[in-house]
Amino acid sequence: MAIISSKFKRLIDTNRFALYTVFAVLTGVFFAQIIKGYLHTGPNGKIDHQLLRYLSLPGVIYMRAFILIIAPLLVTSLSLSFLPIKSENPFDKLRRFNDQKQKQQQRPKKKMEKFDAHKLIVVTFIVFGAFSLLASIFGACLMLTFGSFASPYSTDNDDDTDSDEFISSNNQTIPNDLDENIRNQKHYIIHKYYQHDTVYNSFLNIFPDNMITPFFMSSYSKTKILWPANLSILLDPNYHIETQNEKLINYKANMLSLCIISLCLVTCVAVMSVDLGSEWMKVAIVSPGVPMEIILNTDSQRKTPLVVAFRDGERYIGDSALNVGIRFPEKTFTHFIDLLGKNRIDSIAVRKYLERFPYHKIVENEKDQTIEFVIKDQDQELRFTPEELLAMMLTKARHYAEVASSSSSPTGQAQIITDCVLTVPPYFSQTERQALRHAAQLAGLKVLQLINVNSAFALNYGIFRRKDFNTTNPTNILFYDMGAGSTLATISSYRLVKTKERGFTETDPQLTIRGVAYDRYLGGFELQLRLRDHLVKLFAEQSKKTVDEIRKNHRAMAKLLKEAGRLKKVLSANQEHKAQVENVMNDIDLKAMVTREQFETLASDLLNERVMKPLEEVFKNAGMTLDEIDSFIIIGGSTRVPKIQQQLESYWSRELSKNINADEAGALGAAYQAAYLSKGFKVKTFHLKDWNQYQINVDFERENDTDKKDKKVVSRTLFARGNTFPQKKVITFNKNRNDFEFKVNYVEPNIPQDSKSNIMKVSLTNVAEIFDKYTLNSSVEPKGIKVHFRMDESGILKLESSEASFEVEYEEIIEKDNYEQISNLVGDAISKFGSKLSSLFSGNENLSANETENVNGTESKPEHEETVKANTTNDFGSEEKILNTTESNLNNFTDTTNSTGNKNESLNATIEMIQNVTEKSFQKEIKKKIVKEEIITNVEQFDGDFQLSTETISASQKKLDTLNEKEKDKLKRDQMKNALESFIHETRDKLNQDDYSQSVTNDERESIEKELSAVSEWLDYESDSEQALAFEEKLTKLTGQTKDLFERVREHRDRPEALSSLKNMLDIADMFHTNAMNVSKDEQIFTGVELSTLRKLIDDTKTWMDEQVREQDLLPRTANPSLTIRIIVEKTMIVDREVKYLLNKARITPPKKKPTTTATTDSNEETEKNNTESNNEKNDTIINDEKILKDSMDEKTKANSDEKISEESNTIVDNDEQIKPDRTDTDSGHSSKTEL
């Protein structure tokens, strides 16, 4: 039993990897068989078990890899297990060798781990087995998706199939509109069932039609499962296609394959950017295959108005909201981005907004410290904060981006986008930036960065000109941006810098913002307001109304504002234009001529004074001059005003540059930054150093040096104006020993609008406790309190941490070896005593050591000196050996000195020093180290404090979700209503066509027309308050009522082509059978059963087709057809499957080898004149066997190459082979051979 147990253990231990592999193979085959058996049942309900023979192509490759790779390894491993018990396993031998090698090592520093080769091999084959299992499952999923592979001999019962009636719960029908260029026998069946398939169309766009069709034909020909017309069918667990006899497919099993295949797909994550202006919003996207593209909205526009409107319980966004704003301006909100983060109605921004839009009502929300718009709609009061309105716009932008991402998605489905980069004006305060982040959070977006819009413009300029920059001379560009709401002037500098962020030196371009200046309210909208006020005066003159009466009419003011915007654009290209507004108020129209000169006069203070002010300030802030600027680029829509361009050209004295897109540069620059920050993309590095707009100081109190009772306020600069960010700063408090507080403030007069001077108040609470803990020890020296700040990429200031630092002294005992000192002292003693030792042995005491003669003629060295040096330089000698050697030498020297009687004080002193030196010495050293203790900080935020309560955020989110659901329901209702109306019109039109009128009975026509009229009347008078479900029910009812009629028309229309395809397939099969029968018996690779089965199938199908065509011709067109396209397709597939099986067998079967033969040839009888011998010999020449076999194989290869099988057209090209004698001349005669 012990021997058997050890044998079994050896078997398991040695063949563990083989067992894992076999388990993986069996598991994969098991899963594939179960899925295949679940999907496909053969005739009489029997499951087809011929999996290995009819496996899909990946499965075949996998099985061949198993036979060629895994099987030999398995046999080798099994053979190792049957070695004798006493013999050493190769793995054990390797392990023993490693153990011996470890023991031979001297003084190992660390015990080496044993190298387990057995474990390595086992792990390797476990991984390979897991890969095999995944390959098996993937092959099974392919079978699941493309259909089960039935046996070619398990043909269906034709009699039962003839009477099958096609039943589909989802109306899976063959489309009617078939392109003319593919209406041929070769591709008819495939395109019929694949023309709406995404995979088929994707391949068809890449590869030629004749290359793709055989692939789909080969996968389709082995199954009766139809590829679904859309992906939603796969996700429907109740969808099935069945006949009376058998279940063809159950898509519940397909759910498993979708889950497994989805794990193999690469999830493509797109990122987006949004350029938020005062009036417009531009959205850009970066996704795989779509680099930095401006996306279109639902109206196919590249920019979307930043407008939200509410009317009759519905929400309108973008262009549709603009139309609502003309009639209901008090329910329409624009330019609300300037109100982000505001909490008081008496702030400058709110007062400016109400001055421009007096019809809006804004109130304060004391609980949440925000402001809200208040409107009444359908007798309900609605309240929205500016952040909620912006969140609605960002949600719409996200929807646009996700729809656009579907074009680059591998599945054709929209991607879910959450990462984004948003542009902000550089003058936004901490609170405004935090409010923008809050709006993005409500929209379900993760903000990677808030990038200043002027930096986005500059970045977009630089990413396409990387090669123009160098490391020595920076390129300075001046940008002048006048948009709808504000004006910015920016000086940016580009140069190449060397960085070592990834461990090695890299040279990348860097953008540094050198200076920024702005005018917050100078923009195109301010010019538009000037024109609007002018139109108000003109209309007052024409209508005899007062200006106050017109201003109180909100609808009239909205109409005039819209016309003023149109005039501003037209006057930029024309000298004059006529303003026309219908029904301004009281059915009075406005018609007036406005010239460009009048427009420039109205805005003279803006154009002459305020336009140039940002340019003057930006050079002052940057500390640069105009001569240092290399290019002057204008951007923004308002720079198209001729007067503005004239002033800028006069200032620059050269031509202005317009080499970037003035409208889209900001969105594209932000999109590049989004791709750079995203983990899903790898882009070239372009460093960005932005410009801090506001100086930030730290103010704290400190005791006065003269009078300690009084305290003075000390201010230290934390971030100066013009500092670049992102950047970290540390401020150190050296004299504070107790709990204290400090404030972080803006510096007058550079304070953001509507912001408090104080940004935050920081309290440090456990300072005294920490100092009491450390200052009790006199060896501790305080190094101050350090507070760490960081201004991140978004320009938001954060306090990261605070700590107290102490320098602590401590003693460290250092152990020193004295062997070198001992060796030096011994050598010194030997050198001093050498002369006396030499004179002692030479017998001449008067001679010095230098005068001593050596008999051997060589220089002599003291023996003891050599010994000492040898021992002191031995790295492997022990410490005790060195010490003993030294003591022995000293004793010898001492004895020798005493025997000679020569007392040398110097030598004795040296010996005494040597004896006093120990092996080791221990020294104490005073060292210092820095100890840090974390300090508890309490931060009270003032500017940047937009931390709303959880209840407020939840309420806002619920409000937005309700609006989004209502919008989705409205969209679905509109789609269903349009679908119902389209179906009614199309059906009425079809009833008048010949194909439909011949296939419909009078009763059917009357019933359909009656139902169509009823539904049409319901649409006109009763459907206004109905939801999408009601329209869907009406459409379903009409579809079911007309289904039989449409099915009959489709059958009659497409039956000739289906029959033609079947006839073509039968001709192909007949030709193949004829050629196969003509092959000689020696070359035949098909069995008689296979050929007879094919012959019977061809004859039975032809007979069946003739009988069915005759029966169908006897039926009227109004009757349901007995010969359906589905039955014809099934018959075609059965014939095609049989032919494909035989073709595959011919392709993979190796050619038969002919037996080796010996050919004899009769030599020519030569009669010589002088030889009259009666028995002439017949010379038999034996031709070389190898030559005959080689020639035979060459001829066979040539014959096989002449026979070509065209798989693209599913036809067999038969080249008639003729018997051609191949004559080989020899010396003795002729030999001939024949190849078939």
pLDDT digits (tens, 9 = 90+) for 606-617: 998 899 999 999
- Comparing CA positions, the residue from 1053, 1029, 1047, 907 lying closest to residue 980 is 1029
Residue 1140 has pLDDT above 50, yes or no: yes
Percent of the chain whose predicted confidence (pLDDT) is above 90: 47
Pinpoint the residues of the chain covered by CATH 3.90.640.10.
526-607
3-state secondary structure 403-444: HHHCCCCCCCCCCCCCEEEEEECCCCCHHHHHHHHHHHHHCC
Number of other residues whose CB lies within 10 A of the CB of residue 948:
21
Instruction: Please tell me the predicted confidence (pLDDT) of residue 972.
Output: 92
Range picked from 948-952, 1079-1083, 1086-1090 for highest mean pLDDT: 1086-1090
Q: Token pair for residue 1044?
A: 């039989």
The pLDDT, as a whole number, for residue 9 is 54
1181-1205 tens-digit pLDDT: 333 333 333 344 344 344 444 433 3
3-state secondary structure of 1028: helix
Cross-strand bridge partners of residue 168: 241
**pLDDT the model gives residue 820:** 59
List, as one string, the DSSP characters of 152-210.
TT----HHHHHT---EETT-----S---GGG-STTTHHHHHHHTT-HHHHHHHHHS-HH
Domain boundaries 271-522+611-688, CATH class = alpha beta
What pLDDT is attached to residue 150? 33
Nearest to 890 by CA among 813, 815, 829: 829
Q: Which long-range contacts (CB under 8 A, 24 or more apart) does 753-758 make?
A: 753/348, 753/349, 753/427, 753/429, 753/520, 754/342, 754/344, 754/347, 754/348, 754/349, 754/429, 755/429, 755/430, 755/431, 755/943, 756/942, 756/943, 758/942, 758/943
Six-digit token string for 699: 């103010």
By mean pLDDT, which of 269-283, 816-830, 1052-1066, 1213-1227 is the weakest?
A: 1213-1227
Nearest Cα to Cα of residue 797 among 740, 756, 759: 759
Instruction: Tell which wins on pLDDT, 83 or 152.
Output: 83
Contact at 8 Å (CB) between 54 and 221?
Answer: no
Q: What is the pLDDT of residues 756-790, one digit of tens each?
A: 888 999 999 989 999 888 877 777 888 999 999 99
Residue 921 pLDDT grade (very low, low, confident, very high; cuts 50, 70, 90): low
What pLDDT, on a 0 to 100 scale, did the predictor assign at position 838? 52
User: In the predicted model, is pLDDT for residue 851 greater than 60?
Assistant: no
- The boundaries of every CATH 2.60.34.10 domain in the chain are 692-814+933-941
Q: Per CATH, the architecture of 526-607 is what?
A: Alpha-Beta Complex (3.90)
- Per-residue burial over 138-153, b if 16 or more Cβ lie within 10 Å, else e, is bbbbbbbbbbbbbbbe
Integer CA distances (angstroms), 172 to 192, 209, 1031, in order: 12, 24, 21
Token pair, residue 484, equals 């709808």
Under 8 Å between Cβ of 1183 and 1157 = no
Q: Report the sign of the C-alpha dihedral through residues 950, 952, 953, 954, in that order.
A: positive
Of 135-149, 310-324, 683-697, 1192-1206, least confident by mean pLDDT is 1192-1206
SS3 assignment, position 1197: helix
- pLDDT 10s digits, 944-959: 777 778 888 889 999 9
- Match domain 692-814+933-941 to its CATH number in 3.40.190.10, 2.60.34.10, 3.20.20.150, 2.170.120.20: 2.60.34.10
pLDDT above 60 for 240: no
The amino acid present at 669, given as its one-letter code, is G
Residue 102 CB neighbours (<10 A): 13
> What average pLDDT does this structure show over 205-216?
40
pLDDT class for 6, splitting at 50, 70, 90? low
Distance CA 1065, CA 1077 (A): 18
Q: What's the pLDDT at 286? A: 93
- Contact assessment for residue 297 and residue 322, using Cβ atoms and an 8 Å cutoff: no
CA–centroid distance for 1067 within its chain: 51
Is a pLDDT exceeding 90 seen at residue 197?
A: no
CB 226 within 8 A of CB 241: yes
3-state SS class at 232:
helix
Centroid of chain to Cα 227 = 29
Q: What is the per-residue pLDDT for 776?
A: 76
More confident residue, 1153 or 810: 810
Q: Which H helix or E strand runs over 956?
A: helix 950-991
Phi, psi of 814 (to 5 degrees): -110, 125
User: Looking at the DSSP assignment, which residues form a beta bridge with residue 764?
Assistant: 740, 937
**Contact predicate 732/782, CB 8 Å:** no
CA distance 417 to 622: 38
**From 57-66, 322-331, 369-378, the region with the lowest mean pLDDT:** 57-66
Secondary structure (H, E, C), 1211-1236:
EEECCCCCCCCEEEECCCCEEEECCC
> Given this model, what pLDDT does residue 949 score?
80
Nearest of 819, 801, 812 to residue 762 by alpha carbon: 801
Token match 């000739």: residue?
1056
Q: Would you call 493 helix, strand, or coil by DSSP? A: strand
Mean pLDDT of the chain: 74
What gap in Å lies between CA 1136 and CA 1061, rounded to an integer? 11
| Residue 228 preceded by cis peptide, ω within 30 | no
Closest by CA position to 269, among listed 411, 144, 416: 416
d(CA 295, CA 197): 26
What does DSSP assign to residue 331? G
The phi-psi region of residue 1151 (left if phi > 0; otherwise alpha if psi is between -120 and 50; otherwise beta) is beta
Task: Enumerate the CATH 3.30.420.40 domain ranges in the chain, comma separated.
Answer: 271-522+611-688
The two tokens of residue 645 are 């361009």
List the end-to-end C-alpha distance of the chain, in Å, as a whole number.
Answer: 65
1100 or 186: which carries more pLDDT confidence? 1100
What is the rounded average pLDDT of the residues 560-579? 94
